[in-house]
Structure 1
Amino acid sequence: MNYRNRAISFLKKPHNVILVSLAVILLYLTVVPMLTIVMDTFTVHQAELMRVKGARVGDFTLYHWAKVLFSSASKKIFYEPFLNTMLVAFGTCFIAILLGGTVAWLVTRTNMRFKGVISTLFIFPYIMPSWTLAMAWLNFFKNSLVGGAPGFFTAITGIQTPNWFAYGPFPIVVVLGLHYAPFAYILIGGILRNMDANLEEAALILKASRGKIMRKITIPIVLPAMLSTFLLVFSSAMSAFAVPAFLGTSVRFQVLTTQMFRTLNGLNPGYGYIIALIMILIGVLILGINQKIIGTRRSFTTITGKSSNIAYLNLRGFRSIISVLLLLFIALVCIVPLFSFALESFIMEPGNYSLRNFTTLFWVGSGDPTIANGEPGVLRNSSIFHGLWNSVRLSVIVAFIAGSVGILAGYAIVKRRNSRLSLLVNNLAFFPYLMPSMAFGAIYLSMFAVKRGFIPPLYGTFALLVLVGAVKYLPFASRASVGAMHQLSNEIEEAGTIQGIGWGKRMLRIIIPIQKASFLSGYLLPFISCMRELSLFILLVTPSSRILTTMLFQYNEKGWNQYANAINLLIVLFVVISNLVVNRVTGASIDKGIGGQ
């Protein structure tokens, strides 16, 4: 009877009901899919019956593991893509940290000009989809040896770009490095800006040189942030799909994500599930190391004060030169790609940039039977409008679900902070962040391709896209809500309770209005992320459920470059405008954490 009373008392508190409900739901949506994908690596699939002789669908087998890891074909199936992935990930980290860290130091520690403009513009490559720069690279540097028609660079200069420069690991590393450099800039710049300037001032008084101050003080202080940046960029680069697909496929440069896409869409789904599982384990390991580094850093923090008198390095005669060159470089990375998309979408014959070759066919034309199977222009194309409607509809629904569940999760986690149930839900809500997007999509493809209890098969349905998107972006909303709830005193809600105000009204009239900016970002960030997502949905869409990003990928694969560039331009403009709206509505801006003077 005592246990019954305690259970009733426990469940009378709304935050306990929320925690129990979320624990059950998230266990089913995170842990069970992991178990499902493990089982699928040992299961015979329909497409593999010709290879696994004498087997039936659903039989237990070690065929996939033996073939992927221990056969003569293992080099092509797994080890070569794995080594390529490591090469791309390490190269991306080097460029991202070098470029992002340098810009962060120039903005926070020198008297460089245009700091505010540079700080705002430098984050644009991170706001835009990663494949934006990949398509821009192809527009400029593709050659006639592989790409058919030459790019803008060859058309203007007459110089044929070599294959290693136009395709493969080099451009993939450069593009991903530029995409994640703002990420390094944000993390490293935040540490530099908040660093106690008294340390540097004391070193200057003791006649230490600027170089020695950099080596002995600045770098050791930002080293934990650099290590954290390295691990997070490494994890992101390892799970990248779109950039290697755009820049590597034509020269058969395979990484784990592109190999997974090939196997899951081909006759070897078991291979793909093994690759997905290995990528998930690597991702969890990397994020675990990152959390340990952050935790260790907290334990040896010795900076207890902050001086407002930051001694900026005087760049002297190089001040204007460095400022202008950096501004031009950022403009080149941010603005020129958009120009290339617009230019390529108006070119009738690829590689010919004369005025006679310009046309509006690919925007407003009714279609030419000799071009792209008579596909109408983008602004007259019902398929593209259907994809746009699916994208917007998917993003709105995903944002609503992820944002609403995130608010409830944040509220309940903080109300029961440090309890086992709270920690369990907190970790389960964060778990999807640890998994590469394509691997996460593969998990749900594996789990919901067949009937699960009362849940019918979801493959090919819009509901599956909503489900996988809501779970994948839940960490964004839950992190924002947990941070917002930590800032609220319990006394605020207790005052409403004393007045006899019910829990629902307290949430709607007190808690949400006070922290509406943080809660709203928990809705808007998933919306923007979902609008530009490709890797998460590429395995799950069908003709009826396709979205704009997957249509872009398919058009590019078919060689319909003008349509692909036009769609790309629409997506980028939509994402950038949405981000500006987010900043305007919420008052939040990524660059404000470190921005210039």
Structure 2
Amino acid sequence: MEQTMTQKPSKLKIGLNRIFTYLSKPHNLVLLILGIVLSISTIAPIISIVLDTFSVHLGSVDSTNTGLISGYTLYNWIDLFTGSLNKLNLLMPLVNSLLLAFFTCLGAVVYGGIFAYLVTRTNLKFKKYLSSIFIFPYIMPQWTLAVVWKNLFNSTAVTGGANGLLVSLTGIAMPLWWCKGLFPCATVLAIHYAPFAYILIGGIFRNMDANLEEAAVILNTPKYKIFFRVTLPMVMPAILSTILLVFSSAMGSFPVPYYLTYSTLATKYVEMSVDRAGEASILAIIMMVLGVTILMMNIAATSGRKSYTTVTGKSGQISKVNLGKIGKYAFAIIFIILTFMTSIYPIISFAMETFLPNPGDYSFLKGNWNNLTLKWWTTSENVSEKGMFGQYGILYNSTIWNAYFGILFVGACCALLAGTIGMLVGYSCSKNRHSKWANYVNSMAFLPYLLPALSVGVAFYVFGSNMGIYNTYWLLIIAGTVKYIPFASRSALNSMLQLSNEIEESAVIQGIPWYKRMFKIIIPIQKASIISGYMLPFMSALRELTLFMMLCSQTKILTTLLAYFDEMGLYAFSSGINLILIVTIIICNTLVNKLTGASIDKGIGGS
């Protein structure tokens, strides 16, 4: 009798079979590829900037003082932390950056939180208008309010130069601390990031169970105790999320401290980038470390055993606070004035600047209206005229329009790549939601958002210089894509988690290929969130300066060209560029709302 012997398969065959089975599922293959791509695109530039801190830079102080022309040295680290300029180049900018980030977070949470409470929990009037207009400062370029602040409050007596609008109208000159430094920088950035607090805190206020506060009222609990013991703990996750989103962004902000004359790590980097390139790279690393540290603190604060339940299922009622017949209009008028100054006046201000013979000089308000001019827009010849510096008017200036189409091209490419990658990250991570690899890929996709934009820009500057792609659209697109993937991935992940697996499984049973399932089922169902994932990177790229300013020449794209005209003293041109950018972004934002029905404030209380 012949006995057949069954041979046990080898471990290699078992391993290969498992790999083949794993990769036979499209979402697993996509997840593997994305994990590798995101790891390289995120980690490689960081490694480049770390190595740059040890490199010798020909013509820089490390080369001069060590006598080396190439290779590696510890001089940059030693000199920055222990040298004679330690206080000027490190300690003072570091302290200033921390103060700026702290007061920006405080201002954003207080301003945005109060507005969220009034919109969601009171009978405030004109909610729809106020809710829509409140998010404008975030939609507009970051430096917009900083420039408006200068034009409004600067004076010959205090800051030098021409008098601003306030002095021209009233003769009142604001003190120096109001015009330059920490206070205006923190105020401007707080207004810019307040929509974060409004969206996050407003969402919790809107869904909060009214019984929680009503029970405390029945027990005769004082109002201040109800606020600190009941209301505040429930909105704490939203406050911490706001701090996480705002802190690193404020710390890495360059345009606002630059325009309002405040020395931070970002402005100090730009000052040191030529003579002390290696030490400047260390400043960028410090900003990265601080951003990640805030993330770790946020995780530690929200991972404890505290319960932040706000929706219990027992009550969907929201108790509205009655502001009174006068109060509901009084608070509305206050916010109408505030939002006018932060959202509508900047557009009027930039438009006005382009018609002044001497931008920043508001003497025409005293009756010299005949001096207004169209030359900054329409000059097509005789560009040697005093003040034009050889530039054609905005409408005829090929440099401006080439830079405009350049930023549109970069924005479109960043949107296409970041939106697609973000959608695939959201899809593949939602299909492998309990996988450690999926959590890693999701974290790598979100990491660039936590890093200050300047640090990311510096990392790609070093990386691009080493790869020979500096001052190319390729480098701008790669850097922008990596930086903006978090917008698309978070939007896609949240929407994909809402889809039941049965929707796609029924198509698998019928033998429908993966690409058809994506284009015929998944994408059509969640098209609003997916389109938003494409449009957010596009609009972010249009108003980006901090990330791109180290990666290309000043005339390549519109945001860097704006800074160039400011340096040249051609403020009418920079104001015109600001106006063009704002109008373009508002049009794009409006189109997104009309095409997708999505709105940044929708569902909070403004709709």
TM-score range, shorter chain: over 0.9
Cα deviation for residue 50 of structure 1 reads 4.7
Q: Is the 8 A contact 2:414 2:477 kept in 1?
A: yes
Measure, in 1, the Cα distance between the counterparts of 2:177 and 2:347. 24
Partner of 2:9: none
- 1:548 and 2:561 aligned: no
Residues 372 and 51 of structure 1, relative CA distance in 2, 3 Å threshold: farther
Cα deviation for residue 596 of structure 1 reads 4.2
Cα deviation for residue 279 of structure 1 reads 0.4
Cα deviation for residue 315 of structure 1 reads 1.8
Cα deviation for residue 91 of structure 1 reads 1.8
Task: Calculate the aligned-residue CA RMSD, in Å.
Answer: 1.9
Measure, in 2, the Cα distance between the counterparts of 1:513 and 1:328. 41
Partner of 2:321: 313
Tell me the TM-score normalised to structure 1 length: 0.94
User: Residue by residue, what CA displacement relative to the aligned partner does 1:260-297 show, whole Å, maximum 9, x if unpaired?
Assistant: 12222x22110111001110010011122223334448
Cα deviation for residue 300 of structure 1 reads 4.9
Deviates more, 1:339-348 or 1:142-151: 142-151
Measure, in 2, the Cα distance between the counterparts of 1:423 and 1:162. 51
Matches within 5 A, 1:56-67: 56-57=69-70, 59-67=71-79
Counterpart pick for 2:569 among 551, 559, 568: 559
Q: Is the 8 A contact 2:233 2:308 kept in 1?
A: no
Measure, in 1, the Cα distance between the counterparts of 2:571 and 2:531. 37
Q: Secondary structure at the match of 2:601?
A: helix
Residues 209 and 3 of structure 1, relative CA distance in 2, 3 Å threshold: closer
Matches within 5 A, 1:182-197: 182-197=195-210
Matches within 5 A, 1:177-576: 177-248=190-261, 253-264=262-273, 266-296=274-304, 299-301=307-309, 303-305=311-313, 307-316=315-324, 317-350=326-359, 351=361, 352-353=363-364, 354-366=368-380, 367-451=383-467, 457-542=468-553, 546-576=556-586
Q: Whose radius of gyration is greater, 1 or 2?
A: 2
Q: Secondary structure at the match of 2:260?
A: helix
Q: Is the 8 A contact 1:410 1:482 kept in 2?
A: yes
Residues 502 and 106 of structure 1, relative CA distance in 2, 3 Å threshold: same
Letter matched to residue 270 of structure 2:
F
Tell me the TM-score normalised to structure 2 length: 0.92
Residues 595 and 368 of structure 1, relative CA distance in 2, 3 Å threshold: farther
Partner of 1:122: 134
Q: Secondary structure at the match of 1:589?
A: coil
Measure, in 2, the Cα distance between the counterparts of 1:447 and 1:42. 15
Measure, in 2, the Cα distance between the counterparts of 1:212 and 1:227. 21
Residues 415 and 322 of structure 1, relative CA distance in 2, 3 Å threshold: closer
Q: Is the 8 A contact 1:100 1:181 kept in 2?
A: yes
Partner of 1:23: 35
Measure, in 1, the Cα distance between the counterparts of 2:492 and 2:323. 42
Measure, in 2, the Cα distance between the counterparts of 1:28 and 1:596. 42
Deviates more, 1:5-14 or 1:431-440: 5-14
Residues 488 and 231 of structure 1, relative CA distance in 2, 3 Å threshold: closer
Partner of 2:149: 137
Q: Secondary structure at the match of 1:569?
A: helix
Letter matched to residue 258 of structure 1:
T
Q: Is the 8 A contact 1:186 1:591 kept in 2?
A: yes
Cα deviation for residue 348 of structure 1 reads 0.5
Q: Secondary structure at the match of 2:104?
A: helix
Measure, in 2, the Cα distance between the counterparts of 1:228 and 1:505. 37
Measure, in 1, the Cα distance between the counterparts of 2:564 and 2:169. 29
Cα deviation for residue 302 of structure 1 reads 6.8
Residues 420 and 97 of structure 1, relative CA distance in 2, 3 Å threshold: closer
Which residues of structure 1 form unaligned runs of 5+? 452-456
Letter matched to residue 554 of structure 1:
Y
Q: Secondary structure at the match of 2:478?
A: helix
Partner of 1:454: none
Letter matched to residue 309 of structure 1:
Q
Q: Secondary structure at the match of 1:105?
A: helix
Q: Secondary structure at the match of 2:54?
A: coil
Q: Secondary structure at the match of 2:448?
A: helix
Letter matched to residue 232 of structure 2:
I
Letter matched to residue 46 of structure 2:
M
Q: Is the 8 A contact 1:47 1:269 kept in 2?
A: no
Measure, in 2, the Cα distance between the counterparts of 1:348 and 1:555. 16
Cα deviation for residue 160 of structure 1 reads 3.1
Letter matched to residue 96 of structure 2:
N
User: Residue by residue, what CA displacement relative to the aligned partner does 1:355-382 show, whole Å, maximum 9, x if unpaired?
Assistant: 1221011112223432131211111110
Partner of 1:153: 166
Q: Secondary structure at the match of 2:281?
A: helix
Q: Is the 8 A contact 1:232 1:286 kept in 2?
A: no
Cα deviation for residue 551 of structure 1 reads 0.9
Task: Figure out how many residues of one structure are paired with residues of the other and give that number.
Answer: 585
Cα deviation for residue 443 of structure 1 reads 0.5
Measure, in 2, the Cα distance between the counterparts of 1:130 and 1:306. 43
Cα deviation for residue 593 of structure 1 reads 3.3
Q: Secondary structure at the match of 2:146?
A: helix
User: Residue by residue, what CA displacement relative to the aligned partner does 1:394-436 show, whole Å, maximum 9, x if unpaired?
Assistant: 1011100111111222222122222222122111111111111
Measure, in 2, the Cα distance between the counterparts of 1:550 and 1:391. 10
Deviates more, 1:275-284 or 1:343-352: 343-352
Partner of 1:81: 93
Which residues of structure 2 form unaligned runs of 5+? 1-12
Measure, in 1, the Cα distance between the counterparts of 2:228 and 2:346. 37
Cα deviation for residue 198 of structure 1 reads 0.9
Cα deviation for residue 232 of structure 1 reads 2.9
Deviates more, 1:304-313 or 1:556-565: 304-313
Cα deviation for residue 310 of structure 1 reads 2.7
Partner of 2:4: none
Letter matched to residue 363 of structure 1:
W
Residues 85 and 197 of structure 1, relative CA distance in 2, 3 Å threshold: same
User: Residue by residue, what CA displacement relative to the aligned partner does 1:165-220 show, whole Å, maximum 9, x if unpaired?
Assistant: 22222211111121122221222221111111012222333444544433332223
Deviates more, 1:484-493 or 1:306-315: 306-315
Q: Percent identity?
A: 44
Partner of 2:7: none
Letter matched to residue 183 of structure 1:
F
Matches within 5 A, 1:16-55: 16-48=28-60, 50-55=63-68
Q: Secondary structure at the match of 1:51?
A: helix
User: Residue by residue, what CA displacement relative to the aligned partner does 1:307-328 show, whole Å, maximum 9, x if unpaired?
Assistant: 3433322222323222212222
Measure, in 2, the Cα distance between the counterparts of 1:177 and 1:446. 31
Q: Is the 8 A contact 1:85 1:255 kept in 2?
A: yes
Q: Is the 8 A contact 2:100 2:186 kept in 1?
A: yes
Q: Secondary structure at the match of 2:386?
A: coil
